[in-house]
Chains A and B, each alone.
Chain A
Amino acid sequence: MIVQQALGTRFWTALALIIGLVGPVQAQQTRIDPGRDSVSVILQDATVTISRDGPPCPPACIQPMQSAPGVTTWGEIELIDFLAGPVASGTGLLVDTRLPEVHAIRTLPGAVNVPQATLSPDNPYRPDLLTALGVGSAGGAFGLLLFSDGAADPLARMAVTSLLDAGYPADRLYYYRAGLSGWMALGLNTVPGG
C-alpha cells in the first residue's frame, strides 16, 4: 500500500498495460535460422527490421535456397517437367522425405516416400536403400527430386546432405524447397500417399 501511494496510479496503469501488450508479442517470436533471431539493417537513414513469428527454430528454421554445393534447387514448373520426363521414363524419382504417416495423408502426385531417417548415417540398413536407388549400378543412380513440408522443414535438406555424404552424385540430386505447403499455396493438387 505504501508503494502504491508513492508511485501513483498512472505508473501502475502504465506498467499493467506494458506487461499486457508486450508480453504476448515476445512470446511467439522465433528465430529466422539457427544463427539469427531477427535482423536489423540500416538502409540510407532508416532502420529495417526483419523478425519472425511462428513455430520454434530449431527445428523449423528457414532453409537457404541452396541445400548443398552442386545440388540444384527447383520450383514447381521444373518439378512438373521432371515428373513428365525423367520420372515417367524411369530414370528419376520424386521423393517425399517426410514420415510415412504424414506422407499417407497428403503428398505430391507421383511421389514416393523415402523418410529422411532411412537415409541418415545411423541407419545400418542404408546400403540396401542406396543400392535400390541405383548407387553403384551400371545404369547409374536415379535422379532424385527431394521435398518435405516446406521451406521451414529441414528434412529434405538433411536428406540431401546424407545422400551426398553417402556418395550420391550431386548432379543427380535436386531440391524442391517450397515443399508441400508451397505446392498447395499455389493451388496445385495433392494426393494421398500410397
Chain B
Amino acid sequence: MNNKPPLILVAEDDHFYSKILRNKLMRENYEVVVAEDGQRALDITNQQHPDLILLDLIMPIMNGFSTLQNLKSNPETEKIKVVIISNLGQDSDRERAIALGAEGYFVKSDISINDLVKEISKTLSPLR
C-alpha cells in the first residue's frame, strides 16, 4: 500500500471556500491542490492525477458540469472520483451530476465540513 496521502483537487472559484477546504483537508492529512475554474481543473488533473476531485458547479470559463463531462469522457480521467460540492440544491442538478458520473453530490450549506470530510473518506476508501 502506498503511504502517500491521497491527492484531492479542489475545483472551487470562491477563495473562502477553497481556503477552508484546503486547511481542513490538510489537517486530515490529505494533499490538496486548488483550481479556480474548470479548465484549470482539467489541466491539473492531467498533470497531477488527483485521487478525488471536489468539484464546484458554478465556475468561470468552464462550469462544473462541462468539467465533469470532460473528465468522465476522457479514458485517462474517467476513473477519478468526483464529488460535487455546490450550492445548487435542485434535484435536477443533483440528478444531472449523478447521470454524468459524479460519485457524490453535496450542498455546501447543508453539510457540515466534518461530515463532508467523512464522505470524502468514504468515497476514497469504500471498503473501510
User: Do A and B come from the same complex?
Assistant: no
Which chain A residues have a beta carbon within 8 Å of chain B's beta carbons? none
